[in-house]
């Protein structure tokens, strides 16, 4: 009988081993996912008991701060900059959760990143451990200038440092004030949530990195890069008003049906659609797609606030649709890019062909000001060689010097730029990408104004204002 008793005993011990395995899964391996489950009230209760860290801008302005209250949720979240940085800080709501920086840096703000030391254990035991302050790369002065320059026109402005990927300003209109969503008044929170969602102009949406637009002529940077890389640039392109495409009766026209052509520099400076449509067809769908993807299209952008994916069509589509390929060369057809992506395209040209990971996080500090964590710039992609980057920069300088981008000229500073006027269902979107100074680029700016018409007239001046403020702080 003993043999059977041992077998049953071993069987039961195995059941307990299984139980320990399952406990390891629940309490260790899968614990993070359970802790962050949105139905888990524990986390929120705990979160509201600790003083959440502040969100601070690069120039020291407070973007979000917790203040002590008397009610059950011990701290109230306030946003001194309101709608100006609403789409950067995001909201922190006990009903609807959080978004943007409040969500992306939740662990840091709660202080869960603090390394375990003797003193931190003591602080934790005494319930004194507060969250960590998170400093962003955003400069509120530039942010304000960007917002003022855009004014009450739907659109987005994003500026970043091409050498580090640090986002200096990111604004889109309309924006929202996070205070109403982050209050402790459930009724008020629900009401403003519904209003924000009902608003057709989508104030909760950060257009600067979560909305896709047809990039239009700013995409010619990618087309030119592909042609230069694959040696598909012709000495000159015929001056045409429109290009006849195979299998369609609709010709591809130049802006205003003007005569446009010449060599690459002229065609780029005057944004000849006929030239770049031809160039895309010369390069071919596969190489165009490869180059677009090297610039970050069709990829998840490693942006800490979470960005939408930009799209370049699958080249297989072009086998039956050559006009589509031609259209894609001028940033139309199914090409769609976030303002962030187009700024990254500009930053590749500015930074010797290298795109740095875009980010807003800079440093995390504890209550005493000790640095807990620092963001180190990391390269993301290198779509073009430094030589080709130089060539494109010269093309872009000609745009500002003598081409469609003259509105962005700044006295004494060499600026590179490219205008865009993209067709869509309504009036054209006006856009502009620029960087400067060319010899030592400090800032890349991308501006898009929805349904405003020409990029040269509507978007370039916004970019100019912002770059002037950044590059001539005392001027």
Partner 1 sequence: MTSKKRRTKQKDSSRAKRRTEALLLFVAYVLTVACHLLVELAQDDKISKDTYILVGVMAVCFLVAHIAMRRLAPNASPIFLPVAGLLAGIGFAMVSRLTPAQSATQGMWLIVGISAFCITLFLLRDYRILDRYRYIAMACGVVLLLLPLAPVIGHAVNGSNLWIKLGPLTFQPGELAKICLVIFFASYLNEKRELLAIPTRKLGPIAVPDIKYFGPLLSIWGLSLIVMFLEKDLGSSLLVFSIFLAMLYIATARIIYVLVGLALISFGASFAYSVFGHVQKRVSGWLDTFNPATIHDQTFQLAQALFAFAGGGIFGTGLGLGRPELIPAAATDFIFAAIGEELGFIGVAAIVLLFVILVGSGFRTGLRCSDQFGKLLAAGLAAALGFQAFIIMGGVTRLIPLTGITLPFMSYGGSSIFSNFIILAIFVAISDQQISGPRGVGLGRKPRMLNIGEKVAKVGATA
Measured CA to CA, the distance from residue 293 to residue 337 in angstroms comes to 12
Give the range of 12-20, 64-72, 143-151, 325-333 binding partner 1 by CB under 8 A.
12-20
Please say which residue, 25 or 427, places its beta carbon nearer to partner 1.
25
How many binding residues for partner 1 (CB under 8 A)?
Answer: 35
Measured CA to CA, the distance from residue 368 to residue 29 in angstroms comes to 33
Contact 434, 469 (CB under 8 A): no
Measured CA to CA, the distance from residue 97 to residue 105 in angstroms comes to 13
Contact 381, 400 (CB under 8 A): no
16 near partner 1, judged by CB under 8 A: yes
Measured CA to CA, the distance from residue 110 to residue 128 in angstroms comes to 12
Give the other-Cβ count within 10 Å of 366's Cβ.
21
Please say which residue, 59 or 128, places its beta carbon nearer to partner 1.
128
- Please pick, among 57, 98, 183, 217, the residue that the annotation labels catalytic: 217
Give the range of 13-21, 56-64, 196-204, 445-453 binding partner 1 by CB under 8 A.
13-21
Q: Residue 38 Cβ, how far from partner 1 at the closest point, in Å?
A: 9
137 contact partners, CB below 8 Å, separation of at least 6 = 58, 161, 164, 166, 167, 168, 359, 360, 361, 362
6 near partner 1, judged by CB under 8 A: yes
118 near partner 1, judged by CB under 8 A: no
Please say which residue, 24 or 314, places its beta carbon nearer to partner 1.
24
371 near partner 1, judged by CB under 8 A: no
1 near partner 1, judged by CB under 8 A: yes
Q: Residue 116 Cβ, how far from partner 1 at the closest point, in Å?
A: 11
Give the range of 15-23, 157-165, 201-209, 348-356 binding partner 1 by CB under 8 A.
15-23
316 near partner 1, judged by CB under 8 A: no
Give the range of 2-10, 69-77, 289-297, 349-357 binding partner 1 by CB under 8 A.
2-10
Q: Residue 83 Cβ, how far from partner 1 at the closest point, in Å?
A: 32
Measured CA to CA, the distance from residue 272 to residue 263 in angstroms comes to 10
Q: Residue 47 Cβ, how far from partner 1 at the closest point, in Å?
A: 12
Evaluate the CA torsion angle 333, 335, 337, 343 in order and state its sign: negative
Q: Which of residues 46-105 bind partner 1 (CB under 8 A)?
A: 46
Q: Residue 192 Cβ, how far from partner 1 at the closest point, in Å?
A: 23
Helices 339-350, 220-229: inter-axial angle, 10-degree rounding: 40
Look up 217 and say whether it is catalytic. yes
Among 12, 95, 259, 316, indicate the residue that binds partner 1 (CB under 8 A).
Answer: 12
Please say which residue, 31 or 316, places its beta carbon nearer to partner 1.
31
Contact 375, 104 (CB under 8 A): no
Please say which residue, 31 or 371, places its beta carbon nearer to partner 1.
31
Q: Residue 21 Cβ, how far from partner 1 at the closest point, in Å?
A: 9
Q: Residue 250 Cβ, how far from partner 1 at the closest point, in Å?
A: 49
Binding mask 26-45 for partner 1 (x = CB under 8 A): xxx-xxx-xx-x-xxxxx-x
Measured CA to CA, the distance from residue 362 to residue 377 in angstroms comes to 10
Measured CA to CA, the distance from residue 349 to residue 167 in angstroms comes to 17
13 near partner 1, judged by CB under 8 A: yes
121 near partner 1, judged by CB under 8 A: no
Q: Residue 20 Cβ, how far from partner 1 at the closest point, in Å?
A: 6
Please say which residue, 1 or 68, places its beta carbon nearer to partner 1.
1
Give the range of 11-19, 58-66, 200-208, 381-389 binding partner 1 by CB under 8 A.
11-19
5 near partner 1, judged by CB under 8 A: yes
Q: Cite the active site residues.
A: 217
Residues at the site binding partner 1, with contacts judged by CB under 8 A = 1-9, 12-13, 15-16, 18-20, 22-24, 26-28, 30-32, 34-35, 37, 39-43, 45-46
């Amino acid at each position: 009988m003993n043999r059977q008793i041992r077998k049953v005993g071993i069987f039961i011990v195995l059941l307990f081993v299984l139980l320990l395995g399952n406990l390891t899964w629940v309490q260790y391996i899968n614990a993070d996912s359970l802790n962050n489950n949105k139905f888990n009230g524990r986390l929120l209760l705990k979160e509201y008991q600790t003083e959440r860290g502040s969100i601070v801008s690069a120039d020291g302005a407070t973007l979000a701060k917790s203040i002590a209250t008397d009610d059950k949720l011990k701290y109230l979240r306030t946003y001194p900059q309101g709608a100006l940085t609403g789409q950067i800080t995001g909201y922190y709501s006990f009903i609807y959760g959080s978004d943007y920086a409040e969500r992306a840096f939740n662990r840091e703000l709660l202080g869960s990143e603090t390394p375990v030391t003797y003193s931190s254990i003591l602080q934790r035991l005494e319930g004194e451990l507060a969250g960590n302050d998170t400093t962003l790369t955003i400069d509120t002065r530039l942010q304000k200038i960007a917002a003022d320059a855009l004014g009450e026109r739907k659109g987005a402005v994003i500026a970043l440092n091409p050498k580090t990927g640090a986002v200096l300003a990111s604004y889109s209109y309309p924006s929202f004030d996070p205070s109403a969503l982050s209050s402790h008044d459930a009724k008020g929170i629900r009401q403003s949530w519904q209003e924000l969602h009902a608003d057709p102009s989508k104030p909760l949406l950060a257009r600067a990195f979560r909305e896709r637009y047809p990039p239009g002529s700013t995409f010619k940077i990618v087309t030119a890069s592909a042609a230069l890389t694959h040696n598909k640039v012709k000495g000159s392109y015929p001056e045409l008003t429109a290009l006849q495409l195979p299998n369609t009766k609709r010709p591809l026209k130049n802006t205003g049906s003007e005569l446009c052509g010449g060599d690459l520099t002229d065609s780029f400076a005057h944004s000849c659609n006929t030239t770049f449509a031809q160039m895309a067809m010369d390069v071919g769908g596969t190489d165009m797609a490869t180059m677009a993807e090297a610039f970050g299209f069709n990829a998840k952008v490693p942006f800490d606030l979470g960005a939408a994916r930009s799209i370049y069509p699958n080249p297989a589509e072009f086998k039956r649709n050559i006009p589509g390929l031609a259209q894609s060369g001028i940033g139309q057809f199914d090409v769609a890019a976030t303002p962030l992506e187009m700024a990254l395209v500009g930053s590749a040209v500015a930074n010797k062909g290298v795109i740095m990971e875009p980010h807003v996080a800079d440093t995390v500090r504890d209550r005493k000001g000790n640095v807990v964590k620092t963001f180190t710039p990391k390269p993301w992609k290198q779509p073009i060689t430094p030589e080709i980057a130089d060539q494109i920069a010269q093309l872009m300088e000609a745009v500002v010097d003598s081409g469609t981008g003259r509105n962005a000229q700044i006295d004494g500073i060499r600026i590179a730029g490219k205008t865009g006027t993209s067709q869509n269902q309504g009036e054209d979107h006006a856009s502009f990408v620029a960087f400067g100074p060319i010899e030592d680029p400090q800032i890349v700016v991308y501006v898009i104004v929805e349904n405003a018409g020409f990029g040269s007239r509507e978007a370039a001046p916004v970019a100019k204002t912002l770059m002037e403020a950044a590059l001539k702080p005392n001027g």
